[in-house]
Amino acid sequence: MPFAAMSLPAKTDALADLFGPLLEEYVHVAGIIVSNAARRRLPLPLDEDALRPAAQGFQRGLPLDRIRETIVIPRKILLPDQTNLIARMCDAEAAVLDWALLRLDVPGGVRSLLADWSTTRQVSPLWTP
């Protein structure tokens, strides 16, 4: 992707510039979300937000070693809360899987599902041989 080497604010602005005219042309589309979690990186960087005039960018470390970058380009923000749900989802994404596993009584979260075969395995209701 040609945007890979750019900072999150620069990437957010570039994608807003690229897709903004399309949103004006296609009035039935409320917005565009570009998201990628392919990069692996340890240690995980701190969370980063790029709240720009025409778009919002979010970078979050996901469990283990992935980074998700999400850029939200709405048609036009009439009210500040229009993209609030997506912003909250992006903000909480890294903790959702551990939260869900805890609700399923799986102690240890994601890491408990990736136990090393040389160690004693914990019994998990999600584990299938």
- pLDDT at residue 14, as a whole number: 94
Cβ 31 vs Cβ 24: under 8 Å: no
Top-ranked range on mean pLDDT: pick from 3-12, 86-95, 104-113: 3-12
Q: What is the mean pLDDT of residues 77-85?
A: 67
Pick the more confident residue, 80 or 71.
71
Pick the more confident residue, 110 or 81.
110
For residue 90, pLDDT beyond 50: yes
Helices (H), 27-124: 84-103, 109-113
For residue 109, pLDDT beyond 90: no
pLDDT tens string 12-28 = 999 999 999 999 898 88
CA–CA dist 36, 88 (Å, integer)? 17
CA–CA dist 100, 94 (Å, integer)? 11
Q: Residues for the chain: how many in total?
A: 129
Indicate yes or no: pTM above 0.75.
no
Cβ 94 vs Cβ 77: under 8 Å: no
Cis peptide before 43 (omega within 30 of 0): yes
- pLDDT at residue 38, as a whole number: 73
Residue spans per domain, the chain: 8-113
